[in-house]
Amino acid sequence: MLMIPAIERIGNVTVFADDTEFYRFYPVADAPRLRLDETGDPVFLLLSYALSDEERAAHPDLPSGGGYLSFDTTFEPTQEEIAAVRAALSPRVAAEWNRLKAGTAQEQARTGVAGTTEPPTIQLVTPTWTEGMVTMDAPQSAQLIEARVAESEPSLLAGNIASFSMDLSPAGASFMEQTLLADGDAADETPIQIAYDLRFWARLPPARIHLEVNAERMHKYIEEQFRGRNVDACTGYDYSNADVDTESLTLSGAVTVQIDTGSGSLPEEVIAELRAYAFDLVKQLVQHSFFNAEGEGAAQPAPAPRRSSDGRLVMPPLKYRILGRRKLVRKDINQQTMSIRLDLEQSSVVPWTIHPRGTMQTLLPGNLAARKRHVRKLRLNDPFFATIETAIQVFADFSRLDHVEVELAYESTDENGRPHAAGTVLSFADASPQTWKTAVVGGMRDYRWRQRVVLPGGRIGPFSEWTTTHAPRVPISIESPGLIEIDVVSGSVDYEKLVRGVQVSLAYEDAASGVPREEAVIILSDVKQAANYSRRIDAAQTGPVMAKVRFDLQSGDVIEGGEWMPIQGRQLVVNQPSEAVLDVSLLPSGNGWPDLVAVMVDLAYEDPSNAVSIHDTFTLKTLDAFATWSVYLRNRARRNYRYRWTASFANGDLVKQDWQDNPGDPVLPIRIQRSGITVAVVADALDFTDCPLTEVTIVHDVPGGASETLVFRDSKAQSWHVEAADGAAVAFRYRVTHFPTGRDPVELPERKETDPVIVLPAYRAVSAGELRVQVMAQLVDFATTPIVAVDLNYQDPANGVDLNHSITMTVDQPMANWVVATRDARVTGFRSRTSYFLADGTQKAGEWVPSTTPRVVVPAYRPSA
């Protein structure tokens, strides 16, 4: 199995090693690229069109203008990169082979060494991808894209192909064309980003990770971040690209991340990567639990992290992310569903997430003339408006099947209201693309497709679900038809002290498809920690493979697995039985750790009937320290233990806690509390480019309260401790002063705070601009509402701006513009309210609606029920 962290970077490829086979490696590309067709040309097309008023009058079903963007991306190393990786790894494999060949008898018996006279051939394999999402991000994406969300799902097979297709507004088509066809330095001014988010199974190094999120503090931290950045919402792009310092999260008390390397030691870069992984989990979980999409009610939170039947960590799916739309912080705090606590054991198998990125400019050919071949300007008589033409390509191991059938269906209604239908079934025996064309009727460009597999001998599998699209290409990925393959892997199993061997029984049957029940047994041990199960069934797999596990312990005891359990996916990770081990995590907590030298924790476990007496001592020195005490139980019902601790402070004081009994809690908090209040000051929102220095003066808002001035020259969080009696009020006043380059200091109004976390607001350089809002009422039925009034309001409190305007819309004047001269061009939010005046003179006023899109589309009046 792939082992974290990566061992080497070769060119633009990151290489991971296997945890058991020294000659097996997993090369992963650094960035996505455009997929190439069979001629080596990038699969990319940008169409733009603009129609005159006369053409629109003659063809009202056509849009007024805009564009259409379609392209495929892939995420895998090129053949040239693979060759370079293989050449670079050859000396490494040869050296390890020579070492093992001259090593112990056990080393000489390893696969790839025993019976060989030369180093084995290097195996370069693909990680076991479990999930993925691909998005297209652009700074103005909400204004550029109309009908399609810029999001896709990769195939998760070789190449990880994703297909994009989207309609563009007129401004969007112009933006894309100018950006993609820009030459020289201008090509990178406004990058269009292709962002992959992929997960694959990976084994962590021998370390334990404890992760905890305090719901109340995290909620407060997010609100303070929003206030510090002067926003009330954020988009998926903003969230994914937010630069939040992990130290400030820890200092605020919102997040606790602790790593225990046990008795061994890990390099600092490995610990840093594990810590980054933990905070990446925090970022994913916080998005699921603390945000709603704008316009939604109190949506149910995404599933919290849990364990599958085989013990693997199950993360909320990537599809739960709120992409494209603006995110609002949930108003309510549910401690039960929003608090997060997670412990990953030593050598755990986890879903590891990577986030490769690439800009469209770097994906397309660098030659401007070559780029122009992928951009077309359309006229009204272009076949694009009259014809659907799509290319279908199937990716599969055709040696294991007879062919694949793809059914396509098109349904619409013509201008006379008559239904129209067209379709076909295409047969694929290889990966060559095939094209299907049909006429566009009634302006409808959407069509549907589904596929099924025909296996050797003529056995036909079921059709997949229908998929609706209007893309000019449909890449279809089919995984292992007619073949069951399961990788059985040892997860957190201690073969040295606890487990002698693992017996895994596997079974599959499908009577309806004529597949009889067949059982197989796989044996895992310290010398064989992974194995593969394969069975050819010559039919589509309709259900999961079932498994049960038996553990043979070093003590001679046997733990039977009990019931048959379904395997999720193509991998079964076996973890040791938790009931045979008492694991106690020592968890530092409290605010007194900065004053400590060390804490000595004594633990004791007694089982007289089995002659077991275990005593251990652990030393903890910092709040982010983390240790785990493991006891292997002969009597699995006896889990109680005792503990005591002694704390040594820098001033020479000693604080002791005497022996305490514990019934067997798996987490033992070591709480060292310091009197007083510690205020965390977070500078994540500051931009030190235009404002290299910011200072904040904080006053404890009590009679005779102390004060302190902190100076920030970088985004590193700082803290201030105030001596105060237990139970003293958390009440502070603070004033922020920015010192921008070449300008007078900017002193912000004093604020009050009742939380020990202060997020400094960013310096906002005042640059005048213009807000131009387009108001359109073409959807209004003016026979029902002869007059429609649209009230508009623009506010910029920081600059003392509060402007109001009203526009009257009639059948003769269904469009208008509102232009506002702004003092700060970055403040683009405004509010609008629509009032309808009915034919009888009745006024129906709507609610104020906030927006950052400079366009108001007035809907037709709908009487309330």
pLDDT band at 133 (very low <50, low <70, confident <90, very high): confident
Higher pLDDT, 661 or 728: 661
461-485 pLDDT per residue, tens: 888 889 998 878 888 888 777 788 8
**CB distance 486 to 506 below 8 Å:** yes
**CB distance 70 to 176 below 8 Å:** no
Residue 298 is predicted with a pLDDT of 46
225-269 pLDDT per residue, tens: 666 666 555 555 455 555 555 555 655 667 767 676 655 556 666
Residue 338 is predicted with a pLDDT of 55
Higher pLDDT, 773 or 361: 773
205-230 pLDDT per residue, tens: 777 777 777 777 776 777 766 666 66
Tell me which residue of 393, 319, 468 sits closest to 157, measured CA to CA.
393
Share of the chain above pLDDT 90, in %: 23
pLDDT band at 516 (very low <50, low <70, confident <90, very high): very high
Residue 12 has pLDDT above 80, yes or no: yes
> How large is the average pLDDT for residues 84-99?
95
> How large is the average pLDDT for residues 107-113?
88
The partner residues of 490 in beta bridges, in order of sequence, read 574
pLDDT band at 302 (very low <50, low <70, confident <90, very high): very low
pLDDT band at 321 (very low <50, low <70, confident <90, very high): very low
Residue 303 has pLDDT above 80, yes or no: no
436 Cβ neighbours under 8 A, 6+ residues apart: 389, 390, 392, 408, 424, 426
521-532 pLDDT per residue, tens: 999 998 888 888
C-alpha to C-alpha distance for 540 and 561, rounded to whole angstroms: 28
Give 3-state DSSP helix, strand, coil % of the chain, rounded to 5. 15, 45, 40
Residue 154 is predicted with a pLDDT of 66
In the numeric block, the tokens 């569903």 are attached to 337
Tell me which residue of 287, 337, 347, 277 sits closest to 312, measured CA to CA.
347
The count of residues in the chain is 865
pLDDT band at 818 (very low <50, low <70, confident <90, very high): very high
**CB distance 352 to 14 below 8 Å:** no
> How large is the average pLDDT for residues 38-53?
76
Tell me which residue of 588, 601, 589, 583 sits closest to 666, measured CA to CA.
583
410-438 pLDDT per residue, tens: 999 988 889 999 999 999 999 888 999 99
Residue 53 is predicted with a pLDDT of 64
C-alpha to C-alpha distance for 621 and 647, rounded to whole angstroms: 10
What is the Cα 419 distance to its own chain's centre?
A: 43
Tell me which residue of 623, 728, 622, 600 sits closest to 675, measured CA to CA.
728
> How large is the average pLDDT for residues 621-629?
80
The partner residues of 531 in beta bridges, in order of sequence, read 488
What is the Cα 788 distance to its own chain's centre?
A: 44
576-592 pLDDT per residue, tens: 877 778 888 888 887 78
Beta strand residue intervals within 230-386, DSSP E: 234-235, 255-260, 291-293, 306-307, 313-314, 326-329, 340-344, 349-354, 357-359, 375-378
146-165 pLDDT per residue, tens: 544 456 666 666 677 777 77
**CB distance 694 to 712 below 8 Å:** yes
Tell me which residue of 759, 770, 743, 774 sits closest to 827, measured CA to CA.
770
Q: Mean pLDDT over all residues of the chain? A: 80
| Residue 58, token pair as written in the block | 């003659």
Higher pLDDT, 407 or 155: 407
pLDDT band at 363 (very low <50, low <70, confident <90, very high): low
The partner residues of 165 in beta bridges, in order of sequence, read 70
pLDDT band at 140 (very low <50, low <70, confident <90, very high): very low
Query: What strand order describes the sheet that includes 757-759?
Result: 718-722, 677-682, 757-759
Beta strand residue intervals within 204-355, DSSP E: 208-213, 234-235, 255-260, 291-293, 306-307, 313-314, 326-329, 340-344, 349-354
Residue 557: which H helix or E strand, with range? none
DSSP letter (8 states) at residue 441: B
pLDDT band at 288 (very low <50, low <70, confident <90, very high): low
Residue 145 has pLDDT above 60, yes or no: no
**CB distance 100 to 111 below 8 Å:** no
Would the pTM count as exceeding 0.85? no
DSSP sequence for 141-175:
HHHHB-SS-SEE---SSTT--EEEEEEE-HHHHHH
Residue 428 is predicted with a pLDDT of 95
